[in-house]
Amino acid sequence: MIELKSIRKAFNQGRPNEFWALNGIDLTIEAKKVTAFRGPSGSGKTTLLTIVGCLARPTSGRVRLAEDDISGLPERFLTDIRRSTFGFVFQQFNLIKGLSALDNVMLPAFPTGRPHRELRERSESLLDRLKLAHRREARVEWLSGGEQQRVAIARALVNDPKVLIADEPTANLDTALSREFMGILENLNAEGRTVILTSHDPLVVESAAVHRVVSMRDGRLTED
């Protein structure tokens, strides 16, 4: 599904504070599986996630998505791929304050120009499925942490992506909510979606739902 070849990523290139966050990563992520990246903070797992999810381009190396080389694509085209292939759940949920839950869910589909009614129905059914139908008109800052995360999940799914990417999804949740999240994750995977996440939460990486754990340190893979 996703194939990474000698991926390197530098920040502040050519300046004194140049820093290589990724240092030669070779990795294949299988479709329809749940893969977790584990490692201490600063190990490069989030950077790797941004490259896998087409949020950033590697400084060198190749990224292949379903046989297409996408590493040299300009942002404009990466965005197209990102929008249709990946859904993101961020650590801080990154919902837009002041908008209702429903509006937040609809946001990723705005640039596609999907008809409003169709989009609204799709978003409502997603919220419904995540047991948030009663909260859809509520502003997101009024929701609890667990509810916010479920809004974020619904938002990630609105464009019906094949891959769901979650960055430290349980960092802000208690145990019960974390378990609930893993449950949702399992369901999504059972539907045939690929899931990629980063975590150092044992509850996540040791969960039966995770098929493969990739460990990282200092921008390199350590062991599987």
Q: Which chain residues interact with other proteins by CB under 8 A?
A: 10-14, 46, 49-50, 55-61, 71-77, 79-80, 82-83, 88, 90-92, 94-99, 103, 107-116, 155-156, 159, 167
Q: How far is the CB of 58 from other proteins (least distance, A)?
A: 5
Nearer to other proteins by C-beta: 14 or 223? 14
Tokens, residue 137: 């008109």
For the bound state, the minimum distance from the C-beta of residue 176 to other proteins, rounded and expressed in Å, comes to 26
Shortest separation between residue 11's beta carbon and other proteins, angstroms: 8
Smallest separation, CB 211 to other proteins (Å): 23
In this structure, the chain runs to a length of: 224
Q: Hey, what are 43's tokens?
A: 């190990």
Q: Which helix (H) or strand (E) holds 79?
A: helix 75-85
Q: Between residues 12 and 176, which has the closer beta carbon with respect to other proteins?
A: 12
What is the rounded distance in angstroms from the CA atom of residue 70 to the CA atom of residue 210? 27
Q: Which is nearer to other proteins, 110 or 142 (CB)?
A: 110
**Shorter beta-carbon distance to other proteins: residue 115 or 208:** 115
Q: Of 62 and 186, which has the nearer Cβ to other proteins?
A: 62
CB of 190 to other proteins, least distance (A): 24
Q: Which amino acid is at 102?
A: L
- To other proteins, the closest distance from the beta carbon of 136 in angstroms equals 15
Distance in angstroms (rounded) separating the CA atoms of residues 36 and 90: 15
Asked whether 214 and 35 are in contact (CB, 8 A), the reply is yes
Closest CB to other proteins among 97 and 223?
97
- Concatenating the DSSP letter of every residue in 81-114 gives HHHHHEEEE-TT--PPTTSBHHHHHHGGGGGGT-
29-62 burial by CB neighbour count: b if 16+ within 10 A, else e? beeeebbbbbbeeebbbbbbbbbbbbbbbbeebe
Give whichever of 107 and 186 is closer to other proteins, judged by the CB atom: 107
What DSSP state is assigned to residue 72? T
Could you tell me the smallest distance in angstroms from the CB atom of residue 137 to other proteins?
13
Instruction: Find where tokens 């791929």 sit.
Output: 81
